Amino acid sequence: MPWDLKPDRPIYTQLIEQIQLNIFSGVYPLGSKLPSVRDLAQEAAVNPNTMQRALAKLEEDGLIITHRTSGRSITEDANMVKLARNRLAKEQIAEFLEKMKLMGFEKQETLTLITTMLEEMKK
């Protein structure tokens, strides 16, 4: 798989995003075994610790499971994946609404704005 890493954001967050996508989209099938941190790191041309950091976050989110000395695998729980995806989305949304609030936009106004904005983009 192609690792697309840009220098404008932390590497580890980009790794998280890309692995997440691969899990959500089924590129990494449920229950499948992941390459070792070192192998993944080499593949992505990245320090093993950096890859480790990304994997740790994914484990925390319940997307992957660590088997101490025999590597990691994707969770087998399809529902877990669905929930995690949903939770991550809600976190982003909450953070976004918070920012808008700081700027003086209440929830309702924000929703209207985003709706009309998407409407405009369709044209």
Partner DNA sequence: ACTATTGTATTAAGCGCTTAATACAATAGT
Helix axes 11-24, 48-60, angle to 10 degrees: 50
Stretch binding a copy of itself (CB under 8 A), from 27-35, 49-57, 74-82, 115-123: 115-123
**In this structure, how many other beta carbons lie within 10 angstroms of the beta carbon of residue 56?**
15
Burial class (CB in 10 A: 0-12, 13-18, 19+), 117: exposed
Give whichever of 38 and 90 is closer to DNA, judged by the CB atom: 38
- Residues engaged in binding a copy of itself (CB under 8 A): 17, 20-21, 24-25, 85-86, 88-90, 92-93, 96, 99-100, 102-105, 107-108, 110-111, 113-115, 117-118, 121
- Residues engaged in binding DNA (CB under 7 A): 10-13, 34-39, 46-50, 52-53, 55-56, 66-72
